Amino acid sequence: MSPILHTIVTTVGGIVAGIALAGALLWRQHQALQAARYDATHDELTGLPNRRLLLTRLRAMLSEHAPCGVVLLDLDGFKAVNDTWGHDAGNILLAQVGRLLAGLRAPVEIAARLSGDEFALLVRGDADATAAVARAAWRVIGAAPIDLGCGAISVRASVGYTHTRASTPPRQLLAEADGAMYQAKRTGVGVCRHQPLTAPPGRYGRDRHYC
């Protein structure tokens, strides 16, 4: 091989190797970026969307003027589970509840874990659809004992929900569902819906559920 041809081959080989290396670096950077985006929008323990992604999806639905509702729930007596069985068992319980909620079908858009033992569901549909999802979430969690690996326990949840009204900000919807959830917990009725302040004093919408 002539010196000139050898130089050309060597140069081309170097360029190809450089392109391959650059491609590999770009692929790894893309994968790292995708992983970072996922971590920023999902809960590490359950794999569910987190509060940030829930609010993003809720804002998108509101901007489309799509009818939607928000359901919030937390687990009754969760602290006792941690105190009795330990935090590992508590984490198993949260992961199992996350799987149950993720299995709920349309009109549920997403199931999210907000923090601790608090979860949320974003519902696409009217007020009746939101109410039906709230009841379905309450039922699926209490349907059967949940295996913690060191024993099985029966779990119940307190559930609150609200539905969109004209120009209601996303965080207000979360606050309304949160207030209804704590009303459910205080009264022990299982599921409560948010009532606007125009409702008569002492009258609070509720769905009664008993095992």
Q: For tokens 């009746």, what's the residue? A: 128
Q: For tokens 């060597």, what's the residue? A: 10
Asked if 50 and 114 count as a contact pair (C-beta separation under 8 A), the reply is yes
Catalytic one of 74, 117, 126, 147: 117
Backbone dihedral region for residue 95 (phi beyond 0: left; psi -120 to 50: alpha; all else: beta): alpha
Q: Comparing C-alpha atoms, which of 53, 58, 95, 81 is closest to residue 150? A: 81
Q: Comparing C-alpha atoms, which of 66, 72, 79, 182 is closest to residue 124? A: 66
Going by the DSSP 8-state scheme, the letter that residue 24 receives in this structure is H
Going by the DSSP 8-state scheme, the letter that residue 74 receives in this structure is E
Three-state DSSP class for residue 102: helix
Is 147 assigned a catalytic role?
A: no
Give dist(CA 95, CA 89) in Å, integer.
Answer: 10
Phi and psi angles of residue 207, each rounded to the nearest 5 degrees, phi first: -110, 120
Q: Which residues are catalytic?
A: 117
